[in-house]
Amino acid sequence: MPKGPLVRRHSLATRLTHWGWAISLFFLLLSGLQIFNAFPSLHIGQESGFDYDNAVFSIGAEQVQGEWRGITRVFGQSFDTTGYLGLSGESIPGLKPGEFRAFPAALTVPSYQSLALGRSVHFLFAWGLVISLAAWLIFSALNGHLRHLWPSLSDLRRLPADLWDHLRFRFHHSVKYGPLQKLTYALVLFVALPGMILTGLCLSPGFNAAAPWLLDLFGGRQTARTLHFLIMLGLVVFFIIHIAMILLAGPINELRSIVTGWYRTDAKGEHHE
């Protein structure tokens, strides 16, 4: 644990918007899986259907030697995912095979199958994400926080050493973000989240009519849907690593900084800035 002084690390605007998009992304994920369940496959191109062979990913259930099994296909390769994907829940041999759903009830909002409610929740929290992200961008530009997130050439030169320190669980507690933090947050905030919003807009018929060029930019509606899903998976991986880093670097200190704004740094001479 760091032994240096407590310093002000995050402004009120940064903390509020952080929790705003964290909550929004949580409900976007679960409602998005609900929407995916209505059409549990991903394709490349403008269209999909029985006459197209452009699926790159699908989750479903099939009978294998007289027994129902959950099957997930990735680029034509089949994997048995019974109990997790495609076929989940309690099964009674000879009577009830389980629940035929791509993602199980525990991972969707609502837990029961309802495309209409899933879409309503998804759109509501999509606005929450857009508003909180826009507010963060404005306040960060005004209070100077934005420039602390953008990796410089000096940061890129120090990146290999910082990555090696993280792999050895040697964490530096400083007012400023390290090179790896800057690069990761920049990719999430300036690439992944805008990409998720833009690909989501591609799935709106109303927006397609207003800006048809966006569909062309992403290679068609089905390609945009696939990219939307892949960005979601990337954000889930980021979240898992983010939580792991918080636990390894000192959860009380890390959570205090994003709740109260105050952060304890290393002692002077130990990467204190």
**pLDDT tens digits along 151-180:** 899 999 999 999 999 999 998 898 889 999
Q: How confident is the model at residue 92, as a pLDDT?
A: 56
Q: How confident is the model at residue 270, as a pLDDT?
A: 46
Q: How confident is the model at residue 84, as a pLDDT?
A: 92
34, 201, 181, 15: CA torsion to nearest 10: -80
pLDDT category of residue 267 using cuts at 50, 70 and 90:
confident
Which range among 2-6, 194-198, 224-228, 237-241 shows the weakest confidence by mean pLDDT? 2-6
Tell me the CATH number of domain 6-39+108-264, given options 1.10.287.3240, 1.10.10.520, 1.20.950.20, 3.30.1490.110: 1.20.950.20
**Does residue 30 surpass a pLDDT of 60?**
yes
Mean pLDDT of 238-247: 95
Contacts 24+ apart (CB under 8 A), 38-42: 38/113, 38/115, 38/118, 40/86, 40/102, 42/222, 42/225, 42/226, 42/229
Which strand (E) or helix (H) includes residue 186? Answer: helix 179-187
Q: How confident is the model at residue 78, as a pLDDT?
A: 95
Percentage of the chain lying above the pLDDT 90 cut: 73
What predicted TM-score, i.e. pTM, was given to this entire model? 0.90
**Does residue 271 surpass a pLDDT of 50?**
no
Across the chain, mean pLDDT equals 90
CATH 1.20.950.20 boundaries in the chain: 6-39+108-264
Q: How confident is the model at residue 50, as a pLDDT?
A: 62
